[in-house]
Chains A and B, each alone.
Chain A
Amino acid sequence: MLGYELSLALRGLRRFPRSTVLVVVTVALGIASCMTSLLLLHVLSGDPLPGRSQHLYLAWMDTLHRPPRVDTSGMALNGVSANTFGYRRLKREDAEALMRGRAGVRQAIVADVLADESTEDGTRHLASQAVLATSSDFVALFGVPLLHGRSWTVAEETARAPVVLIDSDTAQRFYGTVDAIGREIRLGKRNYRIIGVFAPYAPQPHFFGLDVGSFTGNGGENLLVPYTSALANGLMPMTGDGCDAGVDVSQTGASDPAHCASLSLWVQLGTPGQVASYRTYLRAYADDHPGDRGKTTAARYGLYGVRQWLDMNGVVPASARLNVLMASSFLLLCMFNVIGLLTARFLRRSTEIGIRRALGASRLAVFAQHIGEATLVCLAGGLLALPMTELGAWILRRQGDDFSPLVRSDPWMFGALFAIAIVVGMAVGIVPAWRASTVEPGLQVKSE
């Protein structure tokens, strides 16, 4: 029976091709704009490390001896927010003490460093590449996919051993092979031995180094180096959250972790109990190291989960959500439009419906035929929306934001698009189909 209604619906579509095209295009426009904005939001609000991120926490406390601030009124009047804690980073001394105090817990010091990389003879090189200066547990903690070799040991880290891990793209580019174990790479002003190769690793958002950018659409760090040897060789973190008062930054730069808060400390905590206990530990440490605030005021410290950290930093720009709302209201407009067009179209065949009804078709059958027609049109619109969404994604990719290259369609999108098309079809079909089904059988037959 449903087959018959469907065949009637198809026939109906073919009857007025011009208005069918109009409806299909309108639906496609609405769905495509909605999908494009959703796609962007999906890319921006994704989980950077599925399965791991819920156990990762950023540990922080404020131990800086801060210089007095000046002229906050000028900043306020110009809408510049005085974010005094920056990216919640630590001085080296505190980060190392925190790690030592909880030897059983997986922790990693993380900082982004800029460096020129080249092969030993200098024939191949990469200028000003972002490099991750970190500690030995990073690979295990952040799930870096090792292809060859190993990560460095705590002993090597303490000895400031000149060892590095590089990604397979760089290995291929520099040495013509992915297995570059044992080769030397020049980093900044000295040589390092490659002890491991990992598959390109760039979680999005770039949550462990937001100072570099919320997203690393053009590739993340391609090299991991022990922070101890990086610092020993003058490779300083790119940015810092502030330095102790009285430090002459003209000699060391404003991000030397000896005096400036420029190292992030990430901790793996599996259970709420562990989280609570680490928080207590952090607080006790912060109480013992009051920095410039003296013992009287409360300690400033924090333990932030990945989701919370991303939200705190507004990683998903408000404009992305706004776009979704705007596109949804546009879809609503398209839907009202299509409801009107379909009503007009169905009522044009009032005579025909009257005859069907007179011949014994039930109201339900007429309703089903028309809602079927509406759904078919919207499915066709959804199909047309696919290339249009691709076009939208292409436009987004050309926008030059740091997340632009990441905007790609994925299977999730096709599913969502199909679902939206069906829901839209049902929604826009109800009113016109109901109007069509209320056509009185006798009246229409009589009048022609």
Chain B
Amino acid sequence: MSLRVMLSTLRRQRLLPALVLLQVAVACAILCNVLFLLWHQLQPMVAPSGVDERGLILIDQLSGDRVWTAPEVRATEAMLRAVPGVRAATAADGLPMVTAEIYVLGLQGPSGAKAGVNAYVGEGLGQLLGVKLVAGRLFSPADYRDEGAKWGVPEPIVITRALARRLFGAASALGQLLHRPDALQGPGYQVVGVVDHLLRNQLGWAVDGKADNTVLLPERVGATPSMSFAVRVDPDHQALAMREIGKAIAAHFADAMQAGMTPQVGSFADRRDAAFRSRRAAAWLFFAVATTVLAVTVIGIMGLTGFWVQRRTRQIGIRRALGARRSQVLREFMLENALIVGAGALLGMALGYAGNLWLMRFYELQRLPWEWLPVGAVAMLLVGQLSAIVPAREAARVPPVVATRSV
């Protein structure tokens, strides 16, 4: 059967194909947006952390009635290092997966490319976290100065590979200078090392290739209202070490803690779990929505195609009697389905894009990248073909003898 004949059939029986088309259009529009939202939630979760996660313990929200002095911070570091099972401990400002405190910084490269980054600061923090160096070096003890100190010369900085590419393009980052956009005349920062990955702790912004917008700075944590620590322990005795650390903190601070503040002590895995809890819930929700949309569409297409096959039983019988093969009948129904669903998907893509633009005017929503539109459309085509198989095979089974009945 030629395409022309098929189209004329569709023109004569408009209601049912139109219903399938509308259904597919709405489903496709929803699917494009939901899959995009799902991906948005998943991005930070699938980004590599860039640290050696086993045996890493993170502590934060150690807040007192007043601001802790630098000697108190040093004393707490020493106390933590003395806990059995602890290999290294350092006070930090900004830690991966710890979202309560973030250190934000703007950086501008020589070409004018800008990036907003999160900084992790603390003596020996890079080594302690176990980041993987790909060029240059991490900081040596001589590099460190107290946090907030005036530098006067370019401050050494360690950046990630993704950040190097963004700020310097193809050129080597080592030795290059970076500046804060509001202090372009200052000494700025000099890149001494590049690490493979380091996930930022502003997790909501760890999307669209900005997951590795993280830097390490050679600064020693001084007076602070709330202390945070990174602790490296024997990975085989992590649980035990964590209990000991909890006890040591309770003993060390006894009454000095601020009322209502409980210090958070957790392994990297615990912290990761907590940091992604709401994100995971949202991802599951979007996943469930996408699945339900697909299921409802399958039911709809199957029901309508089945009914349509039934209505045209005699027509099929006549065609079979006139010499059409089973495979031809099957192919026709599949092609017809592809035509209708394809048209629906086209309409759906437009609808999805328009819907996204309209929503963006009212909500803080990401623009739906156009690449997502074909994803939804292809999904709809597949689903359409899948749900047409059963009715189409039924059509192919119609015996030619039907043509002779009850004319």
What is the interface of chain A, defined by CB distance below 8 A to chain B?
19, 22, 26, 29, 33, 71-80, 114-116, 127-129, 188, 238, 249-254, 318, 321-322, 325-326, 329-330, 332-334, 336-337, 339-341, 343-344, 347-348, 399-401, 431, 435, 447-448
Q: Which of A73, A251, A431 contacts B181 (CB 8 A)?
A: A73
Contacting chain A: which of B18-26, B43-51, B52-60, B316-324? B18-26
Q: Which of B26, B289, B299, B355 contacts A26 (CB 8 A)?
A: B299
A-B contact count (CB 8 A): 151
Q: Which of A116, A340, A399 contacts B20 (CB 8 A)?
A: A340
* Residues on B with beta carbons closer than 8 Å to the beta carbon of A336: 19, 22-23, 26, 300
Q: Which of A80, A254, A329, A344 contacts B16 (CB 8 A)?
A: A344
The 7 closest A-B pairs by CB, nearest first: A77-B116, A128-B260, A114-B260, A344-B307, A78-B116, A250-B67, A74-B106
Residues in B89-115 with C-beta less than 8 Å from chain A: 102, 104-106, 114-115
Q: Are B259 and A339 in contact (CB under 8 A)?
A: no
Q: Which of B23, B105, B306, B359 contacts A337 (CB 8 A)?
A: B23
SS class, residues of chain A in contact with chain B: helix
User: How many Å from the CB of A219 to the closest CB on chain B?
Assistant: 15
Q: Are A447 and B292 in contact (CB under 8 A)?
A: no
Q: Are B34 and A75 in contact (CB under 8 A)?
A: no
How far is A252 from B225 in the complex, measured between Cα atoms in Å?
A: 11
Contact with A along B172-187 (1 / 0, CB 8 A): 0000000011100000
Q: Are A333 and B296 in contact (CB under 8 A)?
A: yes
* Residues on A with beta carbons closer than 8 Å to the beta carbon of B293: 330, 333
How far is A128 from B63 in the complex, measured between Cα atoms in Å?
A: 13
12 residue pairs of the A-B complex, CB under 8 angstroms, read A75-B106, A128-B262, A238-B260, A330-B30, A330-B293, A333-B30, A341-B303, A344-B306, A347-B307, A399-B281, A400-B278, A435-B15
* Residues on B with beta carbons closer than 8 Å to the beta carbon of A333: 23, 26-27, 30, 293, 296-297
Q: Are A330 and B104 in contact (CB under 8 A)?
A: no
What 19 new A-B contacts, CB under 8 Å, besides A78-B116, A128-B261?
A73-B106, A73-B182, A78-B102, A78-B106, A78-B117, A78-B118, A79-B116, A80-B102, A114-B260, A129-B260, A250-B225, A318-B363, A322-B359, A326-B289, A336-B26, A337-B297, A337-B299, A341-B299, A348-B310
Residue on B nearest A336 in the bound complex, by CB = B23
- Give the B interface residue count (CB, 8 A): 59
How far is A324 from B260 in the complex, measured between Cα atoms in Å?
A: 37
Q: Which of A22, A238, A334, A448 contacts B406 (CB 8 A)?
A: A448
Residue on A nearest B311 in the bound complex, by CB = A347
Q: Are B15 and A76 in contact (CB under 8 A)?
A: no
Residues in B214-248 with C-beta less than 8 Å from chain A: 223, 225
Q: Which of A73, A318, A344 contacts B180 (CB 8 A)?
A: A73
* Residues on A with beta carbons closer than 8 Å to the beta carbon of B311: 347
